[in-house]
Amino acid sequence: MSTQHDVTSVHSTAHAVNSSVSSVSSFWVLFSVGLLYISFGVCFGLLEYSVPPILMTRGVNLQSMGWVIALYIPFGLTFLWAPIIDSRPLPWLSYRIGWIALCQIISSLLLIVVAFGSNLPAAGLFTLGLMICFAVATMDLALDALAVDIIGSRYRAIAAALKVGALALGGFIGGGVLLGMFGSLGWKGVFLVTAALPLLTILPVLTLTRADKPRAAAAKRASIVATFRRPGALKQLGMLSVTTTAIIALFYFQRPILVKMGVPLEHIGWTLGTLSPVLNTLAAVAIVPLLARFSPVKTLFLLVGISAVAALGTVLSIDRHLTGSVIFWAVVQGMACSALSVIIYALILKWAATDQSATDYAVLCGGSRLLVTLILMAVPTLLNHVSWGIFYLCCMAVLFIFSLILKGDVRKIAR
């Protein structure tokens, strides 16, 4: 009886949401959400791609990067406060957008403090970075929930591609342009530019407040326990965690590899840091028609095959000290992983389309991110004992095995 009530509630909620969105252009919804994903991508790209090589040029070794990777932890813990996002809207704007606006303002103010705090002790900068990541992670949580709520199954693959593409574009700015201009902008300039984006990109989404309706059924009973009681939730979380770990590990260490091979920071920024995100965006967009017109499962394994070739090319290029080839294969790997990420995000959007979308999305996406973070923190130490060949072989083996497990769900992405 309870299950039947839940299903009925989901359908009635979806109908109400679709009615409220009917007066809003689908293009404008996707555009507004996409701008915020770009803002998120710049902050994340700065952290993921620019900060490690910048610190390495200042004398920090690869083994110490675990502390930088620890800044990702808030992105994996969002499930702890996701029920609050689902159940307690703020007394301004609307259900999700109120949280989005607050977090954007907080992250912008904290980035300004960092811009003028380059001489702060390492512990102080780490604390500020952690606070920024908590704000950005909460904004991302509310934004993903908004996307789940107002974007129907018809646009699910497009929404997933939009997120991956926007994050890649954000990485282009945060991990490419800003890294390449670090010599001229300096610490202050880089962080001030980053601080301006959260305030600018929030403006279009403020027009969507009428479409941002609370899910009444979730307002009283949003909880992590309810998520784990949902049939298949634990299996979904496990598959996402391991698959995402393999995907991210395949391309995360390419910039530190190039620094270790003696490639100048500016060269990394203006080649891999700019070219790769642009091509990643194109790959994320191109995968949508393939998923619609071609077999999603065949598309999945085609991407896994391309990723395997890129991993092999990377290992051979490292052994022969061919920095240009490492950059080439890093670009190919990034495109394959971006396209694979579209499939992963489409699955999450499908699985999180419930009455408590923020909580379910946070458990699935945030939980997998947490595992990725913990593993990546341990990898730099592990690399002292294993070769890059063994490392990439393990990543590809995991990706292939879990792609086999996921193929049944991938086949039903748009349903």
What is the per-residue pLDDT across 66-84, written as a single tens digit (0 to 9) for each? 566 677 778 777 878 888 8
> According to the model, what pLDDT value does residue 102 have?
92
Beta strands in 9-99 (DSSP E): none
Task: With a cut of 60, say whether residue 32 has pLDDT above it.
Answer: yes
Please name the residues in contact with 305: beta carbons below 8 A apart, sequence gap of 6 or more.
none
The domain total for the chain is 1
Q: Mean of the pLDDT values across residues 35-54?
A: 78
Task: Identify whether 114 is part of a domain.
Answer: yes
Does the pLDDT of residue 312 top 90, yes or no? yes
Per-residue burial over 67-92, b = 16 or more CB atoms within 10 Å of its CB, e = otherwise: ebbbbbbbbbbbbebbbebbbebbee
| Residue 372 placed within a domain | yes
Once rounded to an integer, what is the mean pLDDT over residues 165-185?
Answer: 76
Which range, 32-41, 80-89, 115-124, 367-376, has the best average confidence (pLDDT)?
32-41
Q: Is residue 3 part of a domain?
A: no
CATH number at residue 158: 1.20.1250.20
| Range scoring the smallest mean pLDDT among 8-12, 245-249, 370-374 | 8-12
Residue 4 included in any domain: no
Q: Give residue 153's pLDDT band: very low, low, confident or very high (50, 70, 90).
A: low
Band of residue 321 on the pLDDT scale cut at 50, 70, 90 = confident
Structure tokens at 49: 């791609």
Residue 1 lies in a domain: no
| Residue type for position 74 | P
What's residue 415's pLDDT?
58
Nearest partner of 369 among 398, 394, 344, judged by Cα: 344
Closest residue by Cα to residue 374 from 33, 73, 40, 63? 73
Residue range(s) defining the domain that contains residue 238: 10-410
**Residue-by-residue DSSP string for 332-366:** HHHHHHHHHHHHHHHHHHHHT-STTHHHHHIIIII
Residue 415 placed within a domain: no
Q: 3-state SS string over 87-137?
A: HCCCCCCCCCHHHHHHHHHHHHHHHHHHHCCCCCCHHHHHHHHHHHHHHHH
From CA 202, how far away is CA 208, in angstroms rounded? 11
Per-residue pLDDT at 248 exceeds 70: yes
Whether the predicted pLDDT of 1 surpasses 70: no
Share of the chain above pLDDT 70, in %: 83
Please determine, for residue 216, whether its predicted confidence score (pLDDT) is greater than 70: no
Identify whether 5 is part of a domain: no
pTM over 0.75? The answer is no
Is 2 part of any domain?
no
CA 345 to chain centre: 9
